[in-house]
Structure 1
Amino acid sequence: MPLVTVKAQVHADPETLAVLKDAMFCATKVYNGLLWHLRKEYEETGKTNVSRSNLNRILKKLPRAKCYYSMSVQLTRDEVIEAYRSFFALKKKGFTRHSAPGFRPKSYLSPLKYVQSGFRVEGDKVTVSLGTGREDGVRQVSFRISHRPGVEYERVRELSIIYDKVSGQIEARLVVEVKANPCPGTKRAALDLGETVLMAAAFEDGTVLLYSGRFIKSVRRYWQKVRASLKPNSRRWREVAHREKLQVEHLLHIATSHFIEECMRRGVGEIAIGDLRGFRESIDYGDKLNQRQHAWPYRKLINMLKYKGALAGIAVRDDVDEKNTSARCHACGRVLPSNRKSRGLYTCSCGWRAQADVNGSLNIFERAYEVSPVKGSNGRVARPVVLSLHLGWHGVHEPGRRGKSLRASL
């Protein structure tokens, strides 16, 4: 059965919330404690041993490790290991400007994670286990949750209790098993994700859909200007940030739902997406553009596509190498960044002329499936359809006369 992550609100009395926050604070202390001992070992020996056996030895020295569930403590340990492995991988690739994993702020509330044990979900009631060495003697707490209607699942596999600093509320994340619809078909599609063009989708028959990201950009830009006049992290500042988050997520839901429905209608059984992991470390377009790229919700978009695809019986993979897909000519294979003449136009001396994001999505399709939806036919792709998203509605239109020079059908 496919796995889907469900976000839920936590409803509990003040005493229960206080206990949960204390356990999350203890998880932060354990995380920072492991880092402190690793740094001390490095100063003394010149090496960093991030093996599980070494970290288990360190855990025995940390009194806070007995203040929340033992399996959750091990997951905190694994977070430290993963942070160091990511750091080592970046160093190996030559990204020397990155420093070792840093301490979490003292006021930070780390997530409490439960995998297969330590929790029980009965309808809307959740019970979680805590540590055996708590000073208040509390071994477990119960609370109620609520999530969006229409979510039906067979079994809860994982549970995370997190603190959303934007809304100032404790929330739950449930990884659940759901029944999927039969696979709608065997056809394939590829996606090139971006900022101005949120998704450029290339289908096997040469059809192309472009999902505009301009309205999301305008929403984020508006709320960023509002926050600029407010005191950072004040109650009003958090309210504004929360409203921005909800509006952006709403627009992402509109776009991803429409795309998955379109894939079902076309009989698509697999979607390929470029691998964006680590791309933020390799970009340097200046402070302003770097900040926009780092804040753009690529991972949230991919996660939405994955779980909605799973419900529809469509496999979604995001492991396609994206290197040079924007600079490579889809017709002749020549890689030349200067071929991208503007934000939306790609032209090559071989005669290939296309909307730039269309060119990128076609390259991802060819790289993922080792076949081109264009080559072998008439060397053309269908005129792209552009979808514009809005908070209360969304419309579909095709480029007008001014967009003729950007069409991929030329």
Structure 2
Amino acid sequence: MQKSLTKTLVFQLQPDEDGQRLLDDAFLEARRVYNETIWRAKNGEDWDEIRQDLESDANLVNNTAQLVVQKSLEAMENYYEYDDYNQPSHTKDGTYPLRSNYEEGYNLFLKDDCIRYRVSAKPYNPVKGTLSGSLDSLEQLRQAIQSDEWRVGTAEAMQRNGNYELHINITHTEIEVQDKAESRTVVGVDSNEDCIALAALHENDIVDSVVIDFPEIKKERHRYFTMRKRMQNAGKSSFDRAFEQKEERFVHDQLHKVSRQVVEWVSLFETPVIVFEDLKEMRDSIDYGTRMNRRLHSLPFRKLRDFITYKAAFQGIPSEEINPEYTSQACSLTKCEHTTRANRNKKRFKCVECGRQDHADRNAAINIAKKELEKLDRNVPALKTLPTVRKLRRQASGCVDQPTVTHDTARGHHADGVAGVSD
């Protein structure tokens, strides 16, 4: 099965002083367009009128103005889709990225061993220079420019950590992704705010399972929430917005790292398919009170799933969704499968019927995989016993900078056969 897939390459622009000034002015104008779009959309103005007014009045090239407005309205659309959670702010401060289409708002040129760029920061005022970045990214971009199988798409010029960057999307139009009906290994995925559980099943047994911890995301999100709340109470709204943007960047970076590790683990198995819980069904089922609803609805489930999905697709691995009903409450042993909310207490699963104990998220991941086997009309294994759950931590103290565990890890993993830090 052929599929069109997109990935993002990051490069440094390194403009001269005039180029920096042009980009800074354009970033501020893009921010003004974004804020005004959100403000008018909140006030109930017609979206078509907002587009027409701001695209024509913005002191940006037409292509960039159109894409900034489009991105703003997409943020509002996403807010309405998830039942009025995470309303976009109309008072964003700092700089805002310039989004543009290839050969409209920006262009690339191959020259000798370099890739030259031309970014239209303002009308009739382009910024020019040479892209710098990793050798791998430069080679992939050069291939995308020259090959008919690749397409260079939209890009965002932005300022991050004091550096000027260009994030370029490239799309492979003919990636070969295996048909999920031909998959031999079904990998169930259960995502939470501080870990992700994976369980790989065949038709005759469970192959392996693992829980990957990322407590730093939950910790940092709570820390930023506390700081923003204090700033709001003190009337320091500008600091509040700054913290919000820092949190977003931190979570984005961490989710990329988690998704890479997930795909590495899944790739160890024969013709796998990755199975997620349906996000809409999951969000609709959340109702634990105002405070807990805010925490759970704001979790980046969609972003993590999207990162895993497209990274897996580049490895030819398909993805699927199932209805998450009762996956966290049912005992995963085939001979039992007793289902009740009393089975789960935070991270501990203890079946009140058969007494089996397990990590709650690993138990849910197994149930997700079993549901997919049923959906594929495959035999569901008669699980009588389950191996001890293994927990991986993406980081450890000291000089260790890889997942470390108390038991032997999966075949070929980074920390293969190494015992170390665990919860």
Structure 2 length normalisation: TM-score?
Answer: 0.68
Deviates more, 1:274-283 or 1:342-351: 274-283
Is 1:81 aligned to 2:73, yes or no?
A: yes
SS in 2 for 1:395: coil
The CA distance in 2 between the partners of 1:251 and 1:102, in whole Å, is: 23
Alignment counterpart, residue 395 of structure 2, candidates 377, 380, 390? 390
Is 1:121 aligned to 2:121, yes or no?
A: no
The C-alpha deviation readout for 1:175-207, integer Å capped at 9, x for no partner, is 113586885983332211224433333333412
Residue of structure 1 in register with 2:165 after alignment: 171
Is 1:309 aligned to 2:279, yes or no?
A: no
User: How far apart are 1:396 and its partner, in Å?
Assistant: 3.9
Q: Tell me, yes or no, if the aligned pair for 1:201 and 1:210 is still in contact at 8 Å.
A: yes
The CA distance in 2 between the partners of 1:99 and 1:310, in whole Å, is: 29
Alignment counterpart, residue 154 of structure 2, candidates 154, 158, 182? 158
User: How far apart are 1:103 and its partner, in Å?
Assistant: 1.0
Amino acid of the structure 2 residue aligned with 1:163: Q
Q: Tell me, yes or no, if the aligned pair for 2:188 and 2:369 is still in contact at 8 Å.
A: yes
Residue of structure 2 in register with 1:200 after alignment: 198
Q: How many residues align?
A: 365
Amino acid of the structure 1 residue aligned with 2:36: G
The CA distance in 1 between the partners of 2:264 and 2:39, in whole Å, is: 49
Unaligned runs of 5+ in 1: 43-47, 400-410
Residues 173-322 of structure 1 correspond to what in structure 2 (within 5 A)? 173-177=167-171, 186-187=183-184, 188-204=186-202, 205-213=205-213, 216=216, 220=220, 245=250, 249=253, 253=257, 256-276=259-279, 282=286, 298=301, 301-317=304-320, 319-322=321-324
The CA distance in 2 between the partners of 1:146 and 1:322, in whole Å, is: 45
User: How far apart are 1:39 and its partner, in Å?
Assistant: 5.5
User: How far apart are 1:356 and its partner, in Å?
Assistant: 1.0
Relative to 1, partners in 2 of residues 1:294 and 1:120: Cα closer, same or farther, differing over 3 Å?
Answer: same
Q: Tell me, yes or no, if the aligned pair for 2:206 and 2:383 is still in contact at 8 Å.
A: no
Residue of structure 2 in register with 1:71 after alignment: 63
Amino acid of the structure 2 residue aligned with 1:158: T
Amino acid of the structure 2 residue aligned with 1:24: F
User: How far apart are 1:221 and its partner, in Å?
Assistant: 9.2
User: How far apart are 1:146 and its partner, in Å?
Assistant: 3.1
SS in 2 for 1:306: helix
Amino acid of the structure 1 residue aligned with 2:46: N
Residue of structure 2 in register with 1:407 after alignment: none
SS in 2 for 1:265: coil
Is 1:34 aligned to 2:37, yes or no?
A: yes
The CA distance in 2 between the partners of 1:273 and 1:308, in whole Å, is: 15
The C-alpha deviation readout for 1:216-261, integer Å capped at 9, x for no partner, is 469859997xx99xx9999xx99xx79x949x957963x5445433
The CA distance in 2 between the partners of 1:373 and 1:89, in whole Å, is: 34
The CA distance in 1 between the partners of 2:385 and 2:319, in whole Å, is: 26
Relative to 1, partners in 2 of residues 1:321 and 1:278: Cα closer, same or farther, differing over 3 Å?
Answer: closer
Q: Tell me, yes or no, if the aligned pair for 1:362 and 1:373 is still in contact at 8 Å.
A: no
The CA distance in 1 between the partners of 2:223 and 2:171, in whole Å, is: 36
User: How far apart are 1:159 and its partner, in Å?
Assistant: 0.9
User: How far apart are 1:38 and its partner, in Å?
Assistant: 4.5
Q: Tell me, yes or no, if the aligned pair for 1:6 and 1:174 is still in contact at 8 Å.
A: yes
Q: Tell me, yes or no, if the aligned pair for 2:38 and 2:73 is still in contact at 8 Å.
A: no
Amino acid of the structure 1 residue aligned with 2:277: G
Relative to 1, partners in 2 of residues 1:170 and 1:262: Cα closer, same or farther, differing over 3 Å?
Answer: same
Relative to 1, partners in 2 of residues 1:59 and 1:389: Cα closer, same or farther, differing over 3 Å?
Answer: closer
The CA distance in 2 between the partners of 1:321 and 1:280, in whole Å, is: 12
Taking only the aligned residue pairs, the percentage that are identical comes to: 18
User: How far apart are 1:69 and its partner, in Å?
Assistant: 2.5
Relative to 1, partners in 2 of residues 1:12 and 1:256: Cα closer, same or farther, differing over 3 Å?
Answer: same
User: How far apart are 1:357 and its partner, in Å?
Assistant: 0.9
SS in 2 for 1:189: strand
RMSD, aligned α-carbons = 4.4
Structure 1 length normalisation: TM-score?
Answer: 0.70
Is 1:58 aligned to 2:50, yes or no?
A: no
The CA distance in 1 between the partners of 2:14 and 2:329, in whole Å, is: 50
